């Protein structure tokens, strides 16, 4: 299995020539496409589904069976601001599927997942502060709220409204992006060192977050990922 992993603010894209054939579930919602128009087989709730596109909601146990497909999967934060029923209806109406990363960017916008809009300058400032922070563990909501002259509760509300995910979940994704980048650039490093450098308390915490987000372990990433890119 070879993976290409791309991380955005609240969703990830994994391009792979194989998928986890063990029964598993994860917190992220998942849309999987066949990139060569070959049907793949997935077992969900004891039923085997054959298709070239599939939506798997957060927490749903599933098992991909062997096939000749090359997969493109979009994994989205389960607290993102979109309506699941509407998203599934839009997916069912798709007549063209993504073949590369640029196609994905257009798709998520068309599906209403990643809407372009004018971001409140205060949120822009928060995101800049986060990007410039070397240790994400040092991010403090009370300090950020004072910086933009809002209460903590109003800051949290505005952030989720503007960005699409809760503030703490956004920080978690940023940590995850740093960890994935370290995996890509430092394959001789131990998982524990990567976890601490990315801002996680230990390797167990990092492993849990990666597994719940992508359905694969750090070991699988290190062994099977040809290259990993950060966006």
CATH number assigned to the domain comprising residue 223: 1.10.10.60
- Say if residue 136 is in the same domain as residue 73: no
Same domain, yes or no: 14 and 67: yes
Q: Same domain, yes or no, for 10 and 54? A: yes
Higher pLDDT, 152 or 137: 152
Structural domain boundaries enclosing 199: 169-230
Shared domain for 11 and 70, answered yes or no, is yes
The verdict on 88 and 25 lying in the same domain is: yes
On whether both 14 and 101 belong to a single domain, the answer is yes
| Cα-Cα-Cα-Cα dihedral sign, residues 41, 113, 35, 187 | negative
What's the rounded Cα separation, in Å, for the pair 163 and 130?
Answer: 13
The mean predicted confidence, pLDDT, of the chain is 82
The 10s digit of each residue's pLDDT in 49-102 is: 999 999 998 888 888 887 667 889 998 876 665 677 888 888 888 888 888 888
pLDDT exceeds 60 at position 198:
yes
Same domain? For 216 and 199 the reply is: yes
Residues 173 and 220 in one domain: yes
Q: Is residue 115 part of a domain?
A: no
In this prediction, residues 126-142 reach a mean pLDDT of 86
54 lies in the same domain as 103: yes
User: To the nearest whole percent, how much of the chain has pLDDT over 70?
Assistant: 87
Same domain, 99 and 7: yes
pLDDT of residue 115: 54
Q: Which letter, b or e, does each residue of 183-209 get, where b requires 16 or more Cβ atoms within 10 Å of its Cβ?
A: bbeeeeeebeebbbebbbeebeebbeb
Q: How far apart are CA 222 and CA 231, in angstroms?
A: 19
Q: Are residue 98 and residue 10 in the same domain, yes or no?
A: yes
Q: What does the pLDDT look like over 88-123, one tens digit per residue?
A: 888 888 888 888 888 888 888 888 776 555 788 999
Q: Are 41 and 64 in contact (CB under 8 A)?
A: yes
Distances from the Cα of 29 to the Cα of 51, 67, 185, 215, 216, angstroms: 17, 22, 28, 11, 14
CA separation for the pair 32, 14 (Å, rounded): 9
> What's the structural domain count of the chain?
3
**How would DSSP label each residue in 154-214?**
HHHHHHHHHHSS-HHHHHHHHHHHHHHHHHHH-TTS-HHHHHHHHT-SSHHHHHHHHHHHH
The verdict on residue 218 lying in a domain is yes
């Amino acid at each position: 299995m070879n993976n290409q992993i791309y991380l955005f603010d609240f969703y990830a894209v994994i391009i792979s020539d194989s998928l986890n054939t063990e029964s598993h579930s994860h917190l992220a919602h998942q849309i999987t496409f066949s990139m060569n128009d070959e049907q793949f087989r997935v077992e969900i709730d004891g039923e085997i589904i054959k298709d070239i596109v599939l939506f798997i909601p957060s927490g749903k146990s599933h098992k991909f069976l062997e096939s000749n497909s090359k997969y493109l999967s979009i994994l989205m934060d389960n607290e993102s601001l979109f309506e699941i029923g509407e998203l599934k209806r839009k997916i069912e109406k798709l007549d063209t599927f993504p073949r590369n990363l640029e196609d994905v960017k257009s798709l998520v916008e068309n599906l209403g997942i990643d809407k372009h809009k004018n971001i409140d300058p205060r949120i822009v400032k928060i995101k800049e502060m986060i990007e410039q922070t070397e240790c994400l563990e040092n991010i403090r909501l009370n300090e950020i709220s004072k910086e933009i002259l809002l209460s903590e509760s109003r800051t949290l509300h505005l952030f989720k409204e503007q960005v699409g995910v809760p503030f703490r979940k956004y920080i978690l994704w940023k940590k995850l992006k740093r960890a994935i980048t370290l995996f890509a650039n430092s394959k001789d490093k131990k998982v524990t060192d990567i976890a601490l450098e990315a801002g996680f308390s230990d390797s167990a915490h990092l492993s849990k977050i990666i597994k719940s987000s992508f359905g694969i372990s750090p070991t699988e990433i290190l062994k099977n990922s040809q290259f990993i890119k950060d966006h």
